[in-house]
Amino acid sequence: MHRRAAVVLVLGVLLAAGCSARESDDSAPDVPGALYVDPRSSAARWVEANPDDPRAAVIRDRLASHAVARWIGPDNVRENVEGYTLAAARKRQTPVLVAYNIPVRDCNQEAAGGARSGGDYRQWAADLAAGIGRRPAIVIAEPDALIHLDCLSEQGRRERARLLTTLVDTLRERAPRALVYLDAGDGRWNSPETMAPLLAAAGIAGARGFALNVANYNPTLDLIGVAKELRELLSDRYGINTHFVLDTGRNGNPDYDGKDWCNPPDRRLGDPPVVGGQDGLDARLWVKPPGESDGDCGTAPGTTAGTFAPDLAYRMAVG
């Protein structure tokens, strides 16, 4: 997914959608048990289909054995989410979901798609919440939705802010144990000064917080600094206290300048998924499953965005 900076000119437009403050919440995240390890993740399915491949043991032990997020698109959302969260609940574990169906998704680039209309999206959000029900879950809300605004009209930008707020509110009301984190960009090209008003306008006051570095490669120490600044801006300017999560699946090599976002070379697995942290950090997660391609580019030519590429996975695991 192309991580472009949000357009500063849209801030006033989105702020017209409004935001509301909430009381400070310094509680630990409600995450029962461990994070759910999906036995049908893309890495696990590849290992099952290729048991004799010389790369299989490494991919099994270093990728498939860890919790990764399940990305939720437009199809059979209630049925799929209900089945997935029930499977996690039976193991007394907490699943990680990515809500990824905003209209004009990814500005019609590598991961194009999404709901056909605002009405379809609102129904989809209701079905997503119904699928989760009263079970615990971590939900990453709409990666790239707030940084991909320059392809939308003024009306489209307003509608996007309303739809994100609807998603947050629907999950809060109908899936009360879901911890929702709005995507806040990559922490490099999307400055806290830019992202704070966008998040406020998109309903972060009703969410648990924000997610940084989804599907990107920026090092954890840099992200911690960005998160600190963004939390302070949201608190000081909007009265909104937030927590945050980081996508650490592919940021194990700190030598990264951010210029090459699509299957760049020399990337490594980052910190394993774990709940907990300090100064507002709720969890390190593998939101973009390591080994899944960013698209037909870089070190994985001929692949499609979101498909598992064993060579890519193996190189991330062993260097």
Residues 239 and 233: their CA atoms lie apart, in Å, by 9
> Does residue 114 have a pLDDT over 80?
yes
CA atoms lying within 13 Å on the CB side of residue 296: 4
Q: Is 288 a known ligand-binding residue?
A: yes
State the helix-helix crossing angle for 154-174 and 118-132, rounded to 10 degrees. 20
Residue 28's pLDDT is 83
Residue 116's pLDDT is 92
Note the pLDDT tens digit of each residue in 11-40. 454 554 445 444 446 678 989 889 999 999
Q: Is 91 a known ligand-binding residue?
A: no
Please answer whether residues 218 and 256 qualify as being in contact, where contact means their C-beta atoms are separated by less than 8 angstroms.
yes
Residue 14's pLDDT is 54
**Predicted model pTM:** 0.93
**Known catalytic residue at 294:** yes
Instruction: Compute the average pLDDT of residues 192-199.
Output: 98
CATH fold label, 28-318? TIM Barrel (3.20.20)
Please pick, among 38, 183, 186, 294, the residue that the annotation labels catalytic. Answer: 294
Residue 25's pLDDT is 60
For residue 157, give both structure tokens.
Answer: 């930008």
Note the pLDDT tens digit of each residue in 245-297. 999 999 999 999 888 999 999 999 999 999 999 999 999 999 999 999 999 99
Please pick, among 106, 127, 144, 186, the residue that the annotation labels catalytic. Answer: 144
Return the biggest CA–CA distance within the chain.
57
> Does residue 152 have a pLDDT over 70?
yes
Q: Is 46 a known ligand-binding residue?
A: no
**Known catalytic residue at 236:** no
- Higher pLDDT, residue 54 or 31: 54
Residue 158's pLDDT is 95
- The DSSP H or E segment spanning 45 is helix 42-49
Q: Is 286 a known ligand-binding residue?
A: no
